[in-house]
Structure 1
């Protein structure tokens, strides 16, 4: 999203944070209600256009929300959506993207309240690695020829050992592929959001061999100084890197692998 929509989402999240005491213990049901509204809007672009039409008065856009959804969902969710409708959005559909974000955010608020946030983050990371390694499973869960609810149910069965918050996000990631996000994109966004809630950043490290504890501690110390935030390191083994490591932190990539250096040498040689 562009800066205008990002600012609108930040304001909406701040308002939502003020209501967390009202939804404590009910986060999963509230999140599902938010996701349901996102699904409805995703299938009705004319309504989205009306809610995002800045040429219409903010009150008129908010009243449209009340007229459409009053009595059909939780009052707190209607309050959330009316607040979103009053905002100005940079691009078409950003209000739906914001609902997806706030639904996932609400799931993770529940995990944090029950001191399960770190476990959810770890389970999401393991699930992401599993899906990358198991091509057949990844393709089945992403195959739009199968109904989304059936694929979500399969995800629930495959990852039955995860806590309920992780399962809910995995199921949502499967359903979200209907509107163009890949499983990897959705899970990566959830991981980043979990890290943000836990006030740290995540470094995804790819190495040919496991790192020693001392190597992990040294890398964590370097990254913490670089980004001025606590860093959690997740290591993935890949023999193709040959030697060295590749580090992803958000959009930043630090590639110190031997495979990358060999590739660079070949490119320079052929040029």
Structure 2
């Protein structure tokens, strides 16, 4: 879901700014779902996706096309936002699809934020990713081709409904039913990053051999926030293999203070 071209990145930034102007007055219980509906439409109808992402076509014509198709089928806020998005310049059709998905996930994050539950959303996405890693049968049922979509949706409802935020259920269901070429774990990680960006904070994966107390978590988050100049959200993973100390990963950077990490470093030095 990463848009790499300069033109696409600029358009995505503008689309996200437009979303922020829509959020305060939108029905957030509907906005994300409406945007996911639009995403499904343009992913399914390749001719439509090419037409509304064509950089040579007038933006007003593209906006009129989607307005004619979507009028009365999605909320006014979603329709207004999608019309604005197709007016922007996209160098290839997949950029438009990825941008709409980004907006849909961000809208769900805003929904959780408005409910005071954005921390829960982050934690639930992370914990669910760890559950499916530990439960290969569950992962196979959700990610494999064996179960039809309605059975997968029913399984997710049985597992999660009433136990997680509505935004979590929406995002996980979307990934399971429409992975868009990603693994389930990869999609959860991407969505988790977008939720973290909603709070403009970094995400640290912390591996520890023992559970950390609330006081220890708070101190670690404060130290990392000072070091990186951003609020840092901690995802804690118990890992007896670390032996002692902590392993902390933020983006591509790994801070390894574990005994196991130091032993691996000694082995690498001896082998070189």
Same fold per superposition (TM over 0.5):
yes
- Where in structure 2 are the equivalents of 1:200-211 lying within 5 Å? 200-211=201-212
SS in 2 for 1:18: helix
Count, aligned residues: 268
Q: Tell me if the contact between 2:105 and 2:195 (Cα under 8 Å) persists in the aligned partners.
A: no
Task: Structure 2 unaligned segments of length 5 or more: list them.
Answer: none
Q: Tell me if the contact between 2:112 and 2:165 (Cα under 8 Å) persists in the aligned partners.
A: no
- Where in structure 2 are the equivalents of 1:35-184 lying within 5 Å? 35-160=36-161, 161-177=163-179, 179-184=180-185
**1:21-66: CA deviation from partner (whole Å, max 9, x where unpaired):** 332xx32322212111111111122221222211222222222223
**Counterparts in 2 of 1:217 and 1:18: CA distance versus 1, 3 Å:** closer
Q: Which residue of 2 aligns with 1:21?
A: 24
Deviation at 1:212, TM superposition (A): 4.8
Question: Is 1:8 paired with 2:20?
Answer: no
**Counterparts in 2 of 1:91 and 1:263: CA distance versus 1, 3 Å:** farther
Q: Which moved more, 1:97-106 or 1:247-256?
A: 247-256
**1:172-217: CA deviation from partner (whole Å, max 9, x where unpaired):** 221232x212222222233223323234322110122223556434
**1:9-30: CA deviation from partner (whole Å, max 9, x where unpaired):** 221122122122332xx32322
Deviation at 1:102, TM superposition (A): 1.2
Deviation at 1:257, TM superposition (A): 3.2
| Distance (whole Å) between structure 2 residues aligned to residue 229 and residue 269 of structure 1 | 37
Q: Tell me if the contact between 1:153 and 1:171 (Cα under 8 Å) persists in the aligned partners.
A: no
TM-score, normalised on structure 2? 0.87
TM-score, normalised on structure 1? 0.88
| Distance (whole Å) between structure 2 residues aligned to residue 28 and residue 215 of structure 1 | 36
SS in 1 for 2:178: helix
Q: Which residue of 2 aligns with 1:251?
A: 252
| Distance (whole Å) between structure 2 residues aligned to residue 90 and residue 246 of structure 1 | 40
SS in 1 for 2:171: helix
**Counterparts in 2 of 1:267 and 1:163: CA distance versus 1, 3 Å:** same
| Distance (whole Å) between structure 2 residues aligned to residue 78 and residue 213 of structure 1 | 43
Q: Tell me if the contact between 2:39 and 2:97 (Cα under 8 Å) persists in the aligned partners.
A: yes
| Distance (whole Å) between structure 2 residues aligned to residue 165 and residue 269 of structure 1 | 50
